[in-house]
Structure 1
Amino acid sequence: MQLTDFLILAPALIGFVILLVLRRKPPPPQDAESEVPRNAIVVDGSNVMHWAGAPSAMVLARVLRALEGKGHTPIVFFDASAGYQLSDRYMNEKHLSAAIGVSEAHVCVVDKGVIADQAILAFAADHGLKVVSNDQYRDWRVQFPHLARKGAVLRGNFRDGAVIWRR
């Protein structure tokens, strides 16, 4: 390799490494001193808000209340586009937490371009948590083998004003 080749390639390589570092998504926001509650459960908010058909914060909130009634503390993940589906505008953690009645510390909106499924499943795997979603996560079963365990993903519907859990 000649010096001129190196001088041309070095900045590109450095830029590539910087982009890789910047694309990494931090874990969901939490208070500096808090840990994941022992009764936590991960909720795919972008999926659950469709359980009655059209996207609905009310449906998601009712599912979250049902989970809390079973003793769980929901940690809700959203795609970056969730706010546009609910209210035709971007909604961050603060806005979504108010809409669904969950602490802002327990809401994570992934950045645009980040695949929410990966963030959801990585967080669940890292903390040994179940996931609430009707997503089959077929594309992720090799990377997250815990999905093969019975009960790893809780599924349900919202019909006639009630949450119906599937077996």
Structure 2
Amino acid sequence: MNNQAKIYSLYFAIDSLITSICTIINNRENSKKIDRDELFNKFWTNGKKKYSELNYDLVAEMGIANYKAEEEFGRIALAIENALGKLENDRHCYWIYCLWFALNIALVDYSFTDPLANQHNLYSEMEERLRLGYQKYLSSSQLTLEEWQNIDSIVKSKLGNF
């Protein structure tokens, strides 16, 4: 899977979690309704913040903070590789890492929202969401050019151009 496919797979996995979270919360009686876009922005913003903090430690810090940041990036790169395949190069890595953090944040939020979620095995939930996200990417890429451009513009309106 190329890096661009990883971005769409991660995006669709997060979108799937958001759908589940919104369905559960919005169907509760006397519950404040949740907006999908606001929830996505929350996860996306927190994912970018987590990336920035870790990247700062990697670039600006020396000593133990730098060493820990290198270890953390290595651990995350390995997790991404195990789930989605090896990162091709530096192209689009920023989005992949930010989306990875956002997915993890969304997954934790989901585990607290859904009483049926297996909170002890969130890794299998993540694998399943990523598998479904990749399948959605593959099926979306088979759409007409106009339909694909519509999906692409929605994704890029939320993430920015990549």
- Would the TM-score normalized by the shorter structure come out above 0.5? no
Compute the TM-score of the two structures, normalised by the length of structure 2. 0.26
Name which structure has the greater RCO, CA cutoff 8 Å, separation 6+. 2
Higher strand share: 1
Bigger radius of gyration: 1
TM-score normalised by length of structure 1: 0.26
